[in-house]
Amino acid sequence: MPIIPYITDSDNEMETLFSIAKLNNVDGVIAWALNLRGKTKPNFLEFAKSYNVEIAEKIKQLYAKNEASHEYLNNLKVKLQDLKKKHDFRNMEIPLKVIEKLNKTNQQLSLF
């Protein structure tokens, strides 16, 4: 599940998501910050402007490169680990081979 900074990453939003998942007997959650690469990045930023111009600018700054800043990602990792532990979810991760392949190609499936 992609987490969209400044939109779906608040403590309340994420707690609600994990609580609902647990109530529905979900075994685990794989979540990480949204990646913005290739044509998807400008299209997503344009969409974000239609949602909220100030938030879109924050997202643009956060994603100066293809992924969110290291500081943001480190904080998100801690938040996700705490939520998984609190809700007794297995520690499900995306297989390393998949991550390495995505990083090598620097490509993202286009939604537009």
- Could you tell me the residue range of the domain that residue 78 belongs to? 2-105
Tell me how far apart the alpha carbons of residues 29 and 12 are, in angstroms, rounded to a whole number.
17
Q: Are 107 and 38 in contact (CB under 8 A)?
A: yes
Give the C-alpha distances (Å, rounded to integers) separating 43 from 26, 82, 99: 32, 32, 23
Nearest to 5 by CA among 107, 21, 102, 14: 14
Residue range 77-105, pLDDT digits in tens: 999 999 999 998 876 666 556 556 666 66
pTM over 0.75? The answer is yes
Amino acid at 43: N
Asked whether residue 112 is assigned to any structural domain, the reply reads no
Q: How many domains does the chain have?
A: 1
Asked whether residue 110 is assigned to any structural domain, the reply reads no
